[in-house]
Every structure is written in C-alpha cells, then in structure tokens.
Amino acid sequence: MLVAGREYYMLPLAERPFSPMDTLFAPTGLIGQGLGIVGTLMIALGVVSYGARKRVRALARFGKLKDWLHFHIFLCLLGPFLVVLHTTFKFGGLVAIAFWSMVLVVTSGVFGRWVYVWIPKTSNGRFLGREQIRERLRDLFRELESQLGMTTEQVLELLDRGGRRGRDVDAFGQGAHGSTPRLEHDRRRRPRRKLGIMGAILEALRYALGRGMARRRFQRILSQAGVREPVRSRILTNLEEERRIEQQLRMIEPFQRAFRYWHAFHLPLAVVMALILVIHVGVAIAFGYTWIWAS
C-alpha cells in the first residue's frame, strides 16, 4: 500500500483533492479508510487477546504466554503502520493526540519487549526469582566441572578468560544478609556495584555486542586444550549459558524496576489512544464516513 500510494502521499496537501488517487488513498477513500479500519481492528485484537490470555485462567491451556506476546507484538506493530497510511501522513486536531499516543505506545512497547527478554522466565512466561536463577547457575557450574575435568579454580579462570570480566559474589548464591557463600568457589567472586536502569541498559548492550567475541575466545581455548567435537559443542553451549545466566542475574533487579515503570507509562497512553479513537470513529460515522457500508 505504501508503494502503491507513494505518488499520492508525496503530493502537497492542497493538491491531493484534485488527484484521481484521492478517492482511493484519502483518509475517507476506499483504500485509505479501509487501512484505518483494518489497522484499528489489528491493534484491538492484539491488545484484547494478550490481555485476556494473561488474566483469564481458563485460557491458560491455550498456548504459551510468550507465543501470545509475539502475536500481540505482530498485530500492534503492523496495525499502527496501517493507521499511519490511513492518515496519509497528515495529523492534526484531536486525532493528533491519539496518533502521537500511538507512536509512544509502540515505541515504549518495543523497549518493553527488549527489557522483557532480559528478565528470566519459566516456559509459561512467569518471572523467575533470584534464588531459582542461582540454583540453575550452580547446577550449570557443576556440570562444567564434570565435563571439563577441571578444578573449581580452573573453571573460574576459563570463564574469566573467555568472558574478560570479573565474577560476582552475589551471582553464586551469597546470602541476602552477607552470609558465607554456599559453594567453595563463591569466595573467589568479587562483589560488583548495583546497577541502575541506565547502567543496566549499557551493560546489556555491551554483553550483546560482545557475545560473538566471547564465543570465539571460548572456542579457541577449548581447541587449544584439545577438546574435540561433539564434546566441544556441548561444553561451549554450557559456557555461553553460564555467562548468559550470570548476566541475567545482574540485570534482574534494574530491569524489573524498568518493567514496572514501563507499565506505568505504556498503559495510560494506550487508554488515552483508545478513548480518542472511539471519539474519532464516532465522529466519522456521524458524518457518514461508513466505508463500504455507505448507503
């Protein structure tokens, strides 16, 4: 639709009513109004379906929550794009408030999705607690010791060489009140300062950008140690998983705070957008813009 209507969208506003394409691509035209209706229905379906899946217990058996989230994201990205085409890139008056609310909702939704990825979850999409994450990290570390046939100190050295960073005391289960860590190698972990939201975002970006480099370092170290396939691939997977889980453990508190702030920003804007949309649709119907159902 963007390609088909590009000639119309590039015309000055004063010339559009005189274009033969106006009856099709104008906000009240056959295609233009249809795009607005379809886009709005997509947004409504995406919001209602995901909200119902999260809150209605009877729907819990119908697919995983993360799949419903993907469906919600797909509809709430494509729907707003169709609405933009419906406006023909011209916004004004009360509708402009709904439009910019929609833009902010979509933008915050993209950010919220990125934050959501960093918070460890079960297969059903429920957030894991810190202790559950620590337990997985401890199990993974024991598995690495067994696979590599190394001592605790050697595994720690390997992880630090591959990841090029210090290890957290807190990551391997130090007690909430500073009690003695549960595993022998916990004492070798250095405490690191707590991250704020911006610090966590920068840390997450650094980790994401450095994943490929860390993987290559691990591959080189295992190759030099004489570890052959397919054992090397299994060990490499566990090394990367250990690095990922420890990173998530550092991210969990600041990103959970960010997720709470995101809800406080995302939902009210969505409500404002919906209310103005209802007014907009009501006015359009009152003035006889009923698309293909016009009498």
Question: pLDDT 10s per residue in the chain (295 long)?
Answer: 889 999 999 999 889 999 999 999 999 899 999 999 999 999 999 989 988 988 888 888 888 888 888 899 899 899 999 999 999 988 777 778 888 888 888 888 888 887 777 776 655 556 666 777 777 777 777 777 787 777 767 776 776 666 545 444 344 433 333 333 344 444 344 445 567 777 778 878 888 888 888 888 888 877 777 777 777 787 788 777 777 777 777 777 787 777 777 777 788 888 888 888 889 888 888 888 888 876 5
Structure token pair of residue 96? 């402009």
pLDDT value for 261: 79
Q: What span, in angstroms and rounded, lies between the C-alpha atoms of 157 and 89?
A: 57
Check residue 161 and give its pLDDT.
Answer: 65
- Amino acid in position 60: A
pLDDT the model gives residue 191: 46
Write the DSSP symbol of residue 193: P
Please tell me the chain's helix, strand, coil percentages from 3-state DSSP, rounded to the nearest 5.
75, 0, 25
Q: What angle do CA 280, 285, 289 make, to 5 degrees?
A: 100
| Under 8 Å between Cβ of 125 and 64 | yes
Give SS3 for 90.
coil
Task: Determine the pLDDT at residue 210.
Answer: 82
Phi, psi (deg, nearest 5) at residue 121: -140, 165
141 DSSP 8-state letter: H
